[in-house]
Structure 1
């Protein structure tokens, strides 16, 4: 619907029967994580650095709440100055309105493309982790590759999403195939 690649999503995934917010911390990437920690987090789940960078391309669509990034705008020299000022203006009221948010990709926010990667060298990344992708020697070559070659990005993103979709599947009695994805059977 937004122009991205096609990838298979296997049906019949067994999901767990317990859902607790306390299980999230340390198990999902955070927008402020240092690159070494992000790489370690993905590696501990069998993902390569290149797969992590490809999956980060999901930031080409969607939005982030101001509380996830606005604290670092004033002190972070990695932001394009005009972009930083626009973000400060857009998020100035977030302490009173925590729903305030900004598109992850300001150039083509509703189109799945490789412009996200092209924006990073220009200081137009929204999150600290976006800036880190370009600034880290381990990830920059993949950012540059995907910025130049949208087909390669789409191919690698699709492959990494398929791999992610089968990560941690529950089998046997450890999980259930839900009748509705938003509630336990």
Structure 2
């Protein structure tokens, strides 16, 4: 083989190898499926978690509400069949995206995950999945909100399609019965105290009026604390609010920006905004844990960390399954 032909062949093989790295997100040497593990990127991208953590801090400093979004992302992505960043995909001609469904109403700030992804890509192109970025940004967002640091495994890969058609089957609704909520989380291994702890995420953020006006109109739900009703009516003055309007009530007026156990005290006092919050204290299966978490923040944090860990490990794609997306909102086959 001539020198020119040999050079051409060598360059060709290099391009094929690079293509496989992004299309499959894994080289031949890395094809063994090790599953999720702590510090998965130690060799392939040792700065990955530091970059993500630093970006979360920077973004949170500029936009406090990003932390609420990162926390919601892990629920909305990982609870639906697989923790694979399917939530982040845009709609295509053939499929509606999960984030554009009614059940995902209020989800926002996806652009900040793109910012984190871009920073990681500058450090290690084609190595770190959007699924891991989604999970780790939630972990670091929890810390920013005053919650516990939760060591989480990495090694997830990204799904190639959205699952909008099955959201109703997997994601609990704010008006769903406690039995339904418990059953959906039990299906992925989260027990009753874990569910009660996860709902403690309602300690931060806000609830849009469209999700709670049914408790105010045409008549006020008698289960609501009368002292809290006046504030709710002031924030949600319309029986049929404009879904595009920024009308909402803070989940916790006392410590709205802090993930703490004040949520459980609010629930016990009839100040839970959503129907599921009210049921949490009324149902005998969950009342004990509400009381215990209201009394002990350490216990709340312990159960919250345990439940988040289980959620983050729900049926991940690992090894050669899925891909490492070049950008988080588009599968690689659609990315140009």
Q: 1:155 to 1:181 in 2, by over 3 A?
A: farther
For residues 304 and 205 of structure 2, the distance between their equivalents in structure 1, rounded to whole angstroms, comes to 16
**Worse overlay, 140-149 or 169-178:** 169-178
For residues 49 and 177 of structure 1, the distance between their equivalents in structure 2, rounded to whole angstroms, comes to 34
Over aligned residue pairs, what C-alpha RMSD do you find?
1.8
Matched, 1:145 2:292: yes
Offset at residue 59 of structure 1 (A) = 0.8
Q: State the partner residue of 2:187.
A: 44
Matched, 1:124 2:259: no
* Bigger Rg, structure 1 or 2: 2
> In structure 2, the residue corresponding to 1:102 is in which secondary structure?
strand
Matched, 1:21 2:138: no
Q: 1:163 to 1:101 in 2, by over 3 A?
A: same
Contact 2:157–2:323 (8 Å) recurs in 1: yes
Offset at residue 172 of structure 1 (A) = 4.6
Q: 1:180 to 1:162 in 2, by over 3 A?
A: farther
Q: State the partner residue of 1:95.
A: 241
Q: 1:83 to 1:25 in 2, by over 3 A?
A: same
Contact 1:14–1:169 (8 Å) recurs in 2: yes
Contact 2:189–2:310 (8 Å) recurs in 1: no
Higher RCO by CA contacts (8 Å cutoff, separation 6 or greater): 1
For residues 248 and 162 of structure 2, the distance between their equivalents in structure 1, rounded to whole angstroms, comes to 26
**Unaligned runs of at least 5 residues, structure 1:** none
Matched, 1:83 2:228: yes
Offset at residue 60 of structure 1 (A) = 0.9
Offset at residue 174 of structure 1 (A) = 4.1
**Worse overlay, 131-140 or 65-74:** 65-74
TM-score computed with the length of structure 2 as normaliser = 0.52
Say which structure is richer in helix: 2
Q: State the partner residue of 1:63.
A: 206
Contact 1:12–1:177 (8 Å) recurs in 2: no
For residues 317 and 213 of structure 2, the distance between their equivalents in structure 1, rounded to whole angstroms, comes to 37
**Worse overlay, 34-43 or 10-19:** 10-19
TM-score computed with the length of structure 1 as normaliser = 0.91
Q: State the partner residue of 2:62.
A: none
